[in-house]
Each structure stands twice: as structure tokens, then as C-alpha cells.
Structure 1
Amino acid sequence: MSVDQILALARGKGWRIATAESCTGGMVAVALTDVPGSSAVVDRGFVTYSNAAKVEMLGVAQATLDAFGAVSEEIAREMAEGALAHSHADLAVSITGIAGPGGSEFKPEGRVCFGLAQKGAPTHVETQEFGALGRGTVRAKSRDHALGLLLRALS
């Protein structure tokens, strides 16, 4: 998967992209904006590491956080939809997960939830279980998976 390809496809469609990231701390936005000319496509990136940031910046409902926790497909959905609503983007990807170390029996290390919101289309959510591969590896795999979601949405 090529970031250049993502940017070229978005540019060709006249689409803008937004990101909403928690456990990756902005790694998707960095990957996109490392390419010269990306400002024609990338609208903004939200790093919403805390629950308060998710609520304040993206409009995630506190009730959803209370019911499902930050690492859930419900929160990934609200993050992606919030990034779309709080930007000028046509496509938004979200990431929330447990990079490690740590986790629990109910939410293990390496569980990452993704959301993909697109104007005029239903929001897609999914969970990947990367496993306890170490913080850096889980974050890199999460970044790459999110970029893959963007590529598929644009193709």
C-alpha cells in the first residue's frame, strides 16, 4: 500500500481526508503529510488520546464511553463520524485501541478498533486483534491498517 496512491486517488476524486487517532497518536496523519503536496488532500488530524478529548473535539458521547469503553467499535464509529462532522473532509478514518503494555482479559493488548466514515455512505467499523506484539509494532500495524482502509475506500 502506497501513501502516494491514497493521495493521488483522493486528489483525483477531489476528496479531503481527516484522521481521528488515539493509540497511534497521529501516526496516520504523519504518514499522509510526509508526502509533498499532501495539503491538497489532508484537511486535518485529531489526536484524541484522552476520553475528554474524544468528547470535546469529536463529539463522542460520554454515554457511549461509559457503556462500551474507549476501545470499542462504538467509539471508533463516533470518532470517525465526529472527524467528518468537525472538518471539511469527505473521508475520515479513526483508530482507538490498546497498544500496550497492558490490557485485560476483556480488552487485551493489541486490540484496535477502526472506523471509516464517508459522506453519503454508512460508516464502516472493525476490530483487529494484533496481539501482544509490543507497543511500537501494534501502533505501526494500526497505522498501516488505517491507511489500507483509506486506500480501499478510495479505490
Structure 2
Amino acid sequence: MPGEAIAPSKPLTIVEGQTLRRLDRSDLDAVVVLDSPAFGTDRRRHLVRLFESSICYGLYEGERLLAYSMRRRFGRGHVVGPIVASCDEDAIAVTHPHVKAHAGTFLRIDTHFGSGPFANFVHQSGMAAYDTVTTMVTSDKANYGASGPGKHVVYALASQSFG
């Protein structure tokens, strides 16, 4: 979903006991642990490369990573992805700072979510659906469907926009 980002109309509210912060290389192991079950395989090498060219945010509860997102330059602007979280609210929390930082500029998120709170946030942030993203996987372990406590989902892709 590409478009000119619009600053979020509502301030971000974080659940008490949770912290949203920018990630650095020391967070990579936690990202891999969160990402692997959602994506269906360990993609550490890919995530290391993305860390090198991305600004990343993570939502923590104490020392436990709940959700993460990455943003990097792409085409005529920036792309946010991957985004991995166990619920729409956490996905919104880690996406919010990227949208806020790029208000008024081109921003893209490749997601398969067409409805629900996360999709509504993306649409309200100025990114209209350009195309439906079909996620091709070779593992039946990948989770691109229903989220839930402890069940992390890939909300946005990293590779749809690689060229």
C-alpha cells in the first residue's frame, strides 16, 4: 500500500509496562526469535542485511520483545517491512513512528491485511491499497493469518518490494 503518509491523528498509547524503542544490533537475537515462528524459518542472514539499511522499532514488555518493524529507503521514498506482531495494536505501535517520521513523503507497506485495525491504521495514514499482496511460502509453519497471544504474525513483508 503506497502513498503519501499522513501523520497519525491520534497519539500513540502504549500499554503500561510496555516500552517502544528504536532497535539496534544488540536486539537482533530477540528479533530472530520473534520472527522465525511467524515467518516459518530462520532468516537471520536476511534480517542482518535489513538491520544494516533500516531504522527499526521494537515493542518490549520488560526484556521480552513483543513486536518489531523495519523501515528502509525504497524507490521514490521508504518502505516499512517486515512488521511482526501478535496483535493489530502491537503492529500499529511499531509502525506508528515510521508513519509519523515520513508524514508528507512517499511511504509503502506491503501487507495482506485488507481489513481490521491494522489495515484501518494504514489506510488512515494515507496509504491506499495499490494491489493485493499474495504471500508465497514453502513452509506450512509460516503465519500470515490469525494472530493471538504468543502467536506472532507477519503483518508486512520485507521482500515484496525488493528488486
Whichever structure has more strand as a proportion of its residues is 2
> What TM-score, normalized to structure 2?
0.29
> What TM-score, normalized to structure 1?
0.30
Whichever structure has more helix as a proportion of its residues is 1
Q: Select the structure with the greater relative contact order (CA < 8 A; seq sep ≥ 6).
A: 2
